[in-house]
């Protein structure tokens, strides 16, 4: 597999009163195309901050982020917005669905923002909803769906534009164990279909070892990277 993501000596420092807090400290790792990588560590270890940096939602204090050979850290606001819309998919612990939109409207929204025609966006949204098993529930609003179904809609929304990298922040943290396992299996299935790499933050060892690689974090630093034994 070809190299997709290359993170080099990445740091993020926040001011906190008279002191600075280093949320991410000198992080280095690589992700290959189609690879599923888990970032594991306790709450507050820097997992979410790292995902926000990789997704272009925050600017690193120092270090480099290379995706498909292109430097991300020096991009301006417009370029970062385009990067998020076209290259990155996001899935969160809390589903962040628009409550007054039905499932298919939530999924097609990223495409409409990009300027895709209404008919093409609807066709693509319907296709990805079918692939996550919700083809018969496309007209239901979030309040009419279970937690697992809402997360399936969120996954469909994250993948509808064909991103190269899916960033998932505790995607099973708001679900029961069986539903969480089904969601992880679904992410693997759909990401394999689209050859989309996945980087998932979790504090659960069971969830972490569902992927191909595990990055262990503590106090903002990487303390180990190892392959998962299947």
Q: What is the pLDDT of residue 117?
A: 95
- For residue 126, CA distances in Å to 4, 40, 56, 157 come to 28, 33, 28, 11
d(CA 46, CA 12): 9
Measured between alpha carbons, how far is residue 5 from residues 34, 53, 72, 76, 95 in Å? Answer: 11, 13, 10, 19, 25
- What pTM was computed for the model? 0.90
Low-confidence ranges of the chain (pLDDT < 50): none
How far apart are alpha carbons 197 and 120 in whole angstroms? 25
Distance linking the first and last C-alpha atoms of the chain? 18
Residue 174: per-residue pLDDT: 78
Q: Which pLDDT does position 21 carry in this prediction?
A: 86
State how far Cα 131 lies from the chain centre.
18
pLDDT given at position 230: 62
pLDDT at 204: 84
Other C-beta atoms closer than 10 Å to the C-beta of 194 total 16
Could you tell me which residues come within 8 angstroms of residue 181 by beta carbon, excluding any fewer than 6 positions away? 172, 210
């Amino acid at each position: 597999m070809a190299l997709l993501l290359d993170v080099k000596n990445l740091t993020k420092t926040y001011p906190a009163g008279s002191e600075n807090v280093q949320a991410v400290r000198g992080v280095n790792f690589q992700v290959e195309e189609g690879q599923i990588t888990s970032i594991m560590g306790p709450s507050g270890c820097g997992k979410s901050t790292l995902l926000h940096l990789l997704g272009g939602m925050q600017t690193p204090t120092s270090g480099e982020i290379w995706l498909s050979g292109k430097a991300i850290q020096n991009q301006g606001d417009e370029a970062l917005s385009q990067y998020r819309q076209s290259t990155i998919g996001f899935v969160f612990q809390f589903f962040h669905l628009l409550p007054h939109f039905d499932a298919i409207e939530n999924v097609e929204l990223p495409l409409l923002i990009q300027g895709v025609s209404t008919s093409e966006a609807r066709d693509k949204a319907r296709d990805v909803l079918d692939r996550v098993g919700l083809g018969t529930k496309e007209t239901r609003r979030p309040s009419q769906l279970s937690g697992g179904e809402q997360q399936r809609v969120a996954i469909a929304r994250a993948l509808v534009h064909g991103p190269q990298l899916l960033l998932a922040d505790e995607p099973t943290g708001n679900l029961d164990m069986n539903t969480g396992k089904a969601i992880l299996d679904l992410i693997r299935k759909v990401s394999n279909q689209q050859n989309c790499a996945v980087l998932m933050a979790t504090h659960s060892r069971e969830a972490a070892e569902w992927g191909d690689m595990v990055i262990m974090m503590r106090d903002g630093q990487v303390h180990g990277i190892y392959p998962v034994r299947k």
